[in-house]
Structure 1
Amino acid sequence: MTGTTPTAWQQRIDTLLHALADARRDAAAAQAREVALLAEAVEIAQAMAQDAGGPTSVADIPMRSLAAQIGAAARVSDRTVQKHMSDAVVLVERFPATFATWAAGDISRGHVRVVVDAGVGIDDNAARAVFEDAALEVARRETPGRLKPAARLLATRLHLVPLQERHTAAATKREVWVRDLDDGMAELIAILPAAIAHGIRDRLDQYARRVIDARDTTDTRPTDARRISEVRADVFADLLLTGHASPDVSNDAIPADEAIIARVQVTVPALTAVGADDTPAELIGKGPIDTATALRLAGTATGWDRVLTHPVTGTVLAIDRYRPSDHLKRTLRVRDEHCRFPGCRIPTYRSDIDHTTAREHDGPTELTNLAHLCRRHHTLKHHSAWRVRQTPDGILHWTSPTGRHYPEHPARTLVFTTEQAGADIQTGAVSESATASDPPPS
């Protein structure tokens, strides 16, 4: 299509996007139909078992037999089919709104998996329905990755067993094991509290990026062509075996006397911090964590930000600190949590602060005209037909080159209160929490 005008290109792209959207809706409907049939298969197998009677030792034979028939027809393991049958019943019976929304093509299989995984532990039917409706509101406008921490936090608020009690029990299952792989390799797997696990990963990332940056700007080791994932694994082994990043791994990029510590960010409701409430704390971008861990992390942080949020929408209203420094940057970090392009989850410390309305167009340097964008989407904003405007509540309204509108909500507004989850909060009052974090390196 040499010589095609920009308008013609956009028309072709618009047609393509419509076709892709239709294909995705059709695929979602077909996947949901398959789940409905698997749930129906369970009903048939259970009815067959009831009619047959007989000893309890063979009561599940009809289920096994039907799973084997389905597996043979679909060329899938019957064990896999039987698990899918069980999962189908959970979805259809316990999460009917999620199933209906999926069948209508409004969400994907990934969204369904997040909602079910987060809400399956809520035994009370009414509470689970509240959770489901709230989670689906987020799912209709966000990616599964962004839905996950919001859904987990909301589920925690509605769970009948306090998070601290569940965390204490789960922590007794801490474990490390090795699984052998092919070609002389193995997996080292650990189950740890979330804050520790993400802190370890962050520390490995810091080391690995320092190694890559130093290698790319010096000729010290020109033959080092390792990808960052390989460097991360090498640093991991080095730290565990020697207690520090050795010259073989660090390439002398990290001075021995320069400590690199893990970075995690936690938000603790003020009333929880003083023991007057049990609203869960949150590991930013990941989900709820137990209060004891959150308070311990907050107690060792170099500084606290006091965050005032709207109790219903979660919008950040204000932030202050006793010794304010880079006040606006801290406010933005708390509000945004990650790149603000639709679907992106690159954290703020790896993103640029961008003027929504550019400075050369008289855009002010203030909260309602600033947002974090990763380098990829920062470049896209300035060198493509994508357009964005920001409203006072921090929502970025993105418009694609073909005119489609994508509202991008701040991360804090994805998690909102319900009557069941926050009955003790008066509408219109201001919620207060403290976010503790070490500032990222400049």
Structure 2
Amino acid sequence: MNSSPAAGSIATGSIATASHGAVISGVEHTRQAIAALQAEELQWFARAEALAAEETARIPSNEGREREMPRRGIAAELAAVLRRSDRGMQERMRDAAVLVDGFPETLGALEAGGIDVAHVRVIQDAGARITDPDARARFEQAALVVAERETPGRAKPIILMLAQRLDPVPLEERHTEAAAGRRVWVRDLDDGMAELAAILPAPLAYAIKERLTAHAREIVAAARGARAGAGAASDAGTEADASARPETGAAAAAPDAADADPLATDRRTTDQVRADVLADLLLTGHATAPVSAGSIPATAAITAHVQITIPAATLTGESTEPAELAGYGPIDPTTARHLAATAPVWERLFTSPTTGAVLQVDTYRPSAQMRRLLDARDEHCRFPGCRRPARQCDGDHTIDAARGGPTRVTNLANLCPGRHHPVKHGTAWSVVQRPDGILEWTSPTGRIYVDIPRRVLEFMALAAAAEPPPF
């Protein structure tokens, strides 16, 4: 078995007096040590699975229950040691064996601290469907290019797309089989609640959530406006009544609860409104609550906004290369062509044949072309690890406009307004934009973090996969 590194270069006693830079280094070293130990633990679980298989092979009986006993026995003891479920331990043993045998480079990257277990799960889940050994090895090589540069959340849709591109089994065939399993179910919860869940084709699921979110934002904004208006009217009424009847002005100004505007008294969160709108739409066909009706006119339909990228050859039916749903990953060509046929407007996306970078976006409808190009290139906030959609972000000048920075795509990037845009301007973080939209962020301690646009990173990963695996 592999030995584990020391848990960092900072002695435990000195943590309380560590400097800013030492804190960052200490966390980094500790996380690397944890990753190495997790890789070692996975190898122990895989060995437990191998021992169970060896013991099972020595049982002469064909009785299924008897042949399950070696695995159950080992899993039960591991579960007792770790205070976990023995059924769950059997699953961990099987998953670890698949990882050790089928994804050795991923295990090595975990052991070296280049990725963590969340990356491992993303790679293993996406690659499990690839049964061809050579295709799986190419996928693993490409996936690690992404995982070593991105958070698990950002990496997942890219790695899913890589799996689709490198799997020799056509996506159309796999999607047809998966779509047959679509269903809706309810799970009981405590305190009179229940959980409603559904398995649907990804474009439908994302469109449903987007539409619910659009409704919720309209309702929350209308409620906020109504509260502000009610507050102003109350203040004006109080002043008028006080001058006319000083002795009863305060009491006269209090509104009758029965006459209160339901919008002004709505205090629900966006999540609560989204859940209520879901129930309204499914049970009545439209949002029926007073606050919903009061904020959204009956004729103002709210539709979902989803971004789907379709290769030109797929759009014409000349190719079966998968399309991509932004924020999710690959979707089958038939669904993509159907959605394209119903879209009111198309945008054409041109990418570099040598780097995969987004070069230009055009459309038949006049609009802010630069904004569209940035949204297509970035897809989300460009601070390392952030996934807030580009359409909800600010177009930030990498070199501040006040300091002479030009308003060009090569000097613009999407940053989320509430968090990372202020971080860039209000802290010691700094950023430089390189060719192809690559951002180099420098932290207050001088560390450099490179944020690569999704399509450039995917192109790099596929290029790595085209090379023979290093084994």
After TM superposition, the score normalised by the length of structure 1 is 0.90
Which deviates further from its counterpart, 332-341 or 160-169?
A: 160-169
1:12 alignment partner AA: S
1:94 alignment partner AA: G
Structure 1 spans left out of the alignment, 5+ residues = 1-9, 424-442
2:172 alignment partner AA: Q
Task: Confirm or deny that 1:346 pairs with 2:354.
Answer: no
Residue 251 of structure 1: CA displacement? 5.9
Choose the corresponding residue for 1:66, options 59, 74, 92: 74
Task: Confirm or deny that 1:315 pairs with 2:357.
Answer: yes
2:27 alignment partner AA: L
Q: Is the 8 A contact 2:266 2:291 kept in 1?
A: no
Residue 53 of structure 1: CA displacement? 3.0
Distance 1:48 1:422, change over 3 A: closer
Task: Confirm or deny that 1:86 pairs with 2:128.
Answer: no
The structure with more helix, counted as a fraction of residues: 2
Q: Tell me, in whole angstroms, the C-alpha distance in 2 between the residues paired with 1:397 and 1:130.
A: 28
Counterparts of 1:33-432 in structure 2 under 5 Å? 33-57=40-64, 58-219=66-227, 220=261, 221-250=263-292, 252-375=294-417, 376-416=419-459, 418=462
Residue 246 of structure 1: CA displacement? 2.1
Choose the corresponding residue for 2:37, options 25, 30, 41: 30
Choose the corresponding residue for 2:26, options 19, 25, 38: 19
Distance 1:369 1:267, change over 3 A: same
Q: Tell me, in whole angstroms, the C-alpha distance in 2 between the residues paired with 1:306 and 1:339.
A: 22
Residue 203 of structure 1: CA displacement? 0.6
Q: Tell me, in whole angstroms, the C-alpha distance in 2 between the residues paired with 1:60 and 1:106.
A: 37
Secondary structure, counterpart of 2:99 in structure 1: helix
Which deviates further from its counterpart, 233-242 or 160-169?
A: 160-169
1:353 alignment partner AA: G
Q: Tell me, in whole angstroms, the C-alpha distance in 1 between the residues paired with 2:154 and 2:465.
A: 20
Which deviates further from its counterpart, 284-293 or 190-199?
A: 284-293
1:430 corresponds to which residue?
A: none
Q: Tell me, in whole angstroms, the C-alpha distance in 2 between the residues paired with 1:181 and 1:241.
A: 21
Which deviates further from its counterpart, 57-66 or 78-87?
A: 57-66
- Larger relative contact order (CA 8 Å, sep ≥ 6): 1
Distance 1:60 1:311, change over 3 A: farther
Q: CA RMSD in A?
A: 1.9
Q: Is the 8 A contact 1:306 1:321 kept in 2?
A: yes
Q: Is the 8 A contact 2:183 2:200 kept in 1?
A: yes
Secondary structure, counterpart of 1:60 in structure 2: helix
Distance 1:323 1:249, change over 3 A: closer
Percentage of matched positions with identical amino acids = 51
Distance 1:275 1:56, change over 3 A: same
Which deviates further from its counterpart, 197-206 or 244-253?
A: 244-253
Residue 363 of structure 1: CA displacement? 0.8
Structure 2 spans left out of the alignment, 5+ residues = 1-16, 228-260
Q: Tell me, in whole angstroms, the C-alpha distance in 1 between the residues paired with 2:463 and 2:406.
A: 38
Q: Is the 8 A contact 2:223 2:291 kept in 1?
A: no
Q: Is the 8 A contact 1:207 1:235 kept in 2?
A: yes
Q: Tell me which structure has the larger Cα radius of gyration.
A: 2
1:275 alignment partner AA: G
Q: Is the 8 A contact 2:139 2:465 kept in 1?
A: no
Q: Tell me, in whole angstroms, the C-alpha distance in 1 between the residues paired with 2:284 and 2:297.
A: 16
